[in-house]
Amino acid sequence: MLDLSAYRALFADRQLARIVLSSILPRLPIGMNALGLTLFVQSATGSFARAGWVTGAYMAALAVQAPMIGRWVDRRGPRGLLGPLAALHVLALLALVGVVTQRMAMPWVLALAFVAGLSYPPVAMVLRATFRKADLTAAQRQSAFAVDSVVTETCFILGPLLVSLGLLAGSPAYAVALAAACTAIGVPLFVRSGALQRWGEVEPAAARHWLGPLRVAAVRRSLVLGLAAAVGIGLNEMSIPAFATEAGLPRAIGAFYAAMSVPSALAGLYYGTRRWGWSLNHQIQLTLAWLALGSVAMAFAPSPWWFAAACGCTGMAFGPMITALSLQLGALSPREYVTEAFTWSMTVFMIGIGVGFWLGGLLVQSHGFSATLWASAGGMALAALWCLRVPQVREH
Give per-residue pLDDT as tens, 201-224.
655 554 555 567 788 888 899 999
User: Does the reported pTM lie above 0.85?
Assistant: no
Going by C-beta distance under 8 Å and a sequence separation of 6 or more, which residues neighbour residue 330? 128, 131, 132, 141, 145, 338, 341, 342, 396
pLDDT at 162 (0 to 100): 84
Strands (E), 91-198: none
Flag whether 177 is in a domain.
yes
Cα 60 to Cα 386: distance, rounded to the nearest angstrom? 23
Flag whether 84 is in a domain.
yes
Q: What is the CATH number of the domain that holds 187?
A: 1.20.1250.20
Give per-residue pLDDT as tens, 294-316.
999 999 988 999 999 999 999 99
Flag whether 205 is in a domain.
no
Flag whether 9 is in a domain.
no
The answer to whether residue 73 scores a pLDDT higher than 80 is no
Flag whether 1 is in a domain.
no
97 closest CA partner among 109, 79, 114: 109
Going from the C-alpha of 160 to that of each of 34, 105, 140, 143, the distances in angstroms are 10, 27, 30, 26
Residue type, 102: Q
Flag whether 220 is in a domain.
yes
Domain that holds residue 366: 17-199+211-389
Tally the domains of the chain.
Answer: 1
Flag whether 25 is in a domain.
yes
Cα 184 to Cα 181: distance, rounded to the nearest angstrom? 5
Region 121-150 average pLDDT: 76
Cα 163 to Cα 175: distance, rounded to the nearest angstrom? 5
Flag whether 371 is in a domain.
yes
Q: How many residues does the chain have?
A: 396
